Every structure is written in structure tokens, then in C-alpha cells.
Amino acid sequence: MITKLTVSDRRFPLEDGAGADSIHTQPVYAYAVCELHTDAGATGIGLAFTLGRGNDLVCQAITALAEPLVGRDIDAVMSDFGNVFRSIADNQHYRWLGPHKGVVHLALAAISNACFDLWAKHRGVPLWKLLLDLSPQAMLATLDLSNLEAVLSADEALALIKAELPNRSLRLSVLESGYPGYDTSVGWFNYDDETIKGNAKRAIEQGFDAMKLKVGSRDIERDIRRAYLIRETVGADARIMLDVNQQWSLPTALQMCQKLEAMRPFWIEEPLHPDDILGHQTLARAIYPIQVALGEHVANRIQFKNFMQAGAAAFIQVDCTRVGGVSEFLTVSLLAKKFGLKVVPHVGDMGQIHQHLVLVNHIAFGLEKIFLEYIPHLREHFIHPAKVESGVYHTPHEPGSSSDLN
């Protein structure tokens, strides 16, 4: 039984330009941490990712929203978690502050993630195994599909999950081989040209064949120079993603993608304001075969649905520490399956939880195995940091979601 709720505000300043992008030039990586304690001595840890200031507001919202879980059995909670999720999201006293976005939804992310972590620890298995061992009906019961009925009914979601059961065995090899990673730390915005060049060479030496460069400068020539510098450094075969962090207008994006086309970006990430669905749709159509990636600032499953219906993105970067936790991550992944899109998560958790979830997406849902973002900057703060060698995430085996912090 859940006997106590505690909440903590954990902040981790970064050094030497790490983590910087075109809008967040001095980030402080931070987690609003939800801890659910049981009478058996287990603790479920749930993380919501922020950039420092305001993290305390998310912590306050966790305290307010998670209190009804105290006194409940975790198996009972998770057997009907889709409805539990909806009841928290639609709390009549706090829903007006969203709804389903902002501080209150980040709080739900931490609460949801804590529940899944506690459930896996209670069962004594890693999160990926817990989810893979669920029946299709039990998996469906963890999801809130409300407001998606026109495009993904409960019956259709169940059919999608069941349809992949015969093919699961063909994909289990990923548990042994590991899941490919890509290096985001190569090209932070504040790094100078020599630093990103050296980082790119080092990434290739470490086994990564994909990496990211932060763009979105007011000096467009700086972005163009650095993008071609990375391509020249790593050669024709490496995949290079360009992350704009929402800093282009549509006319600028159209101009920049034309200028960058020859260096063959694997995707253009968050090119426009994250609420501009039609702008992304226009851009995606205009720049094809260059593809658009987004999701870091898409707050919930309904907004993802709208982007998918519009054909506004090819890569869905849903993040379980930014949407409503593991539950909504899985819902968005099933939506992507329905629309034939690729899921490559943004990792506010530094890959700790998502290393479990990409395995579930690939094995259980049949989503394509592409790669998972890797950010090394908080490794020393996790009790079980993700094990990444030769550019590959090794499958975690400790019980839970790998979220425990030192």
C-alpha cells in the first residue's frame, strides 16, 4: 500500500556551455521528483523535466494532485490506470490551469512515472519487462484514450497491440544487441566551431553514427557554416540532425532548409513555434524529402493527434517527462503506429526511462528501431546510469524505470 508521498526539487547546473540552445542559453537541468513510498519499503520515483526556475511550481502541483494515491494498493491503481490518469488530469480544482499542459501536466508526468516505477519495483522487474509481460487488455487499461476516439478507439488500440503479438519473437534480439543511440552533446549552441568539430570526431570514435547540432542563431550564416562543418568532419554516411528550438519563422525556415539541403540533414527539429500546426504542415510539404521532427514541447496526446492528422511531422519526439508520463507516452506511440510515423523520443530523463520505452515500442508495438537520444551530462546523479557503449544502449536489468537519483 502507498503510505506516503514526498516531493523534491532537484537542480543540476551545467558547465562549459553544455545543454545550451538558441533560446535556453544558460540551462539548469532540473527534475520535479515524485516519490511514492509503500508499507513494504519500496519507493516509486517519478521525474518531470524542467530547466530550473519554475521547478518548485511543478513540485507544488505534484503535492496537490498525487495525494489521493496515498492509501491505495499499487496493483489496484495500475489495473485501471487509464481512469486514474484521467481523474488526476481532470482534477476540478487545477484543470483550469492547463488543461493538460504546463505546470499541472508536468506534475502528472512525475506522478505517472512514479506509479510505473513503483509497479515495476513491486513486481521485481525492469519497466520494459513489466510492460512486455502485460496482456494486451492490461496494457490498454494503463492508457487514457479520451478525446482520441475519432482516430484511435479502444478497440482499435487493442487490435494494434494484438496484431503485433505473433511478430514479437522476431524483435526480441534487440534485448541482446542493445538499442542504437545518437549523441546530442556534440553541438550545443554555445560551443565554438573547433569544439563541435572535435566532439563530432570523438562521437564517431565512440561508435555513434548519428549526432545533433543546435542551430537557430540570429546569424543564419553561423548556422550554415557549422552545419556544413559537421558534415565535412564526419563524412557522408553519418546522420546529422539540426535542432532549431523553435527559433525560425516559416519564411526563414523555408529559406534555411533550401540553404542546408546539400548537407543532407536527417531531420529539422522544432523549426517553428510548437503550437503552429499549419506552419509545420506547410514546411513539411515544402522541404520534403527533408523531414520534420517535433514533440519536445507538444504537451499532450490531443496536440500530437492534431500534428499527425495534419501530416506536419515525420518523427515524433514524445518525452515521458514532458507529457503525462509513461502512460501518455505509450498512447502517443500507438497513435504514431496508427499514422505510420516514427517515434524517436526526446530525453528529458537523459535516456534513463526511455531506454525501457523504446524497447516496448519496438517489440510490443512494432515501431521501427531507429535510435535513442543520448545526453551524458547527469550520469553521476543516477544510481543506475544508462549503460551506453559503442554508440548502443545496453538493456537495463534492475527493477524499476532506472529513475533513482543519488
**Residue listed under C-alpha cell 508520463:** 325
CB 212 within 8 A of CB 241: yes
Q: Which residues contact 388 (CB under 8 A, 6 or more apart)?
A: 181, 351, 374, 376, 394
H-helix or E-strand spanning residue 313: none
Question: CA 35 to CA 6: how far, in whole Å?
Answer: 5
H-helix or E-strand spanning residue 143: none
Question: CA 401 to CA 356: how far, in whole Å?
Answer: 7
Query: Within a 13 Å sphere around the CA of 47, how many CA atoms are in the beta-carbon half?
Result: 26
H-helix or E-strand spanning residue 205: helix 193-205
- Output DSSP code: residue 242: E
Question: CA 391 to CA 348: how far, in whole Å?
Answer: 19
Residues 300, 302, 306, 311, CA torsion sign: positive
Told to judge if 214 belongs to the known catalytic residues of this protein, a careful annotator would answer: yes
Give the active site residue among 342, 346, 354, 356: 346
Hey, what's the cell of 3? 503510505
Give the active site residue among 129, 212, 214, 362: 214
Q: Which residues contact 16 (CB under 8 A, 6 or more apart)?
A: none
Question: CA 374 to CA 350: how far, in whole Å?
Answer: 6
**What is the Rg, in whole angstroms, of the alpha carbon atoms belonging to the chain?**
20
Residues with catalytic function: 214, 346
